[in-house]
Amino acid sequence: MWKNLSNYRDAALLFLRITLGILFIYLYGWRSLAGGLPKWKALGGAMRHVGISFWPAFWGFMAAFSESIGVGLLVVGLCFRPSCLLLVITMAVAAISDYHQHGLGGAAHALDLLLIFTTLIFLGPGKYSVDQG
């Protein structure tokens, strides 16, 4: 019974890409991107936790870009691995920032997403994508 589930690997990757992507864009990406300069500066301020304190608006825009446009590309499977890499970097900074502010429990969500996007880099988008694996 369990062995046959591997026949649905590509469909499962498509399901994961679509559901994770829609939730991510709805909960984080669009709000970050549409927030404009004040939101980008606030997001980019998290870079101070990794020793970068210049250009917070630029870094915030890059985070908003990866959380919206990057996730959109992930959903359709175009430039899949580069998009995942941007999201891994974004989630790593978010996890470090959350850890400094709230401890490990506060960083858990960002760490979970970091692990998912890292795993997706290795798995690839599957055959139901623009890149087609």
CB 83 within 8 A of CB 74: yes
CB 84 within 8 A of CB 120: yes
Of residues 6 and 93, more confidence is placed in: 93
Average pLDDT, the chain: 91
pTM (2 d.p.): 0.89
Residue 90: alpha-carbon gap to chain centroid = 7
**HSE-CB of 60 using CA atoms within 13 angstroms:** 22
pLDDT higher than 70, residue 133: no
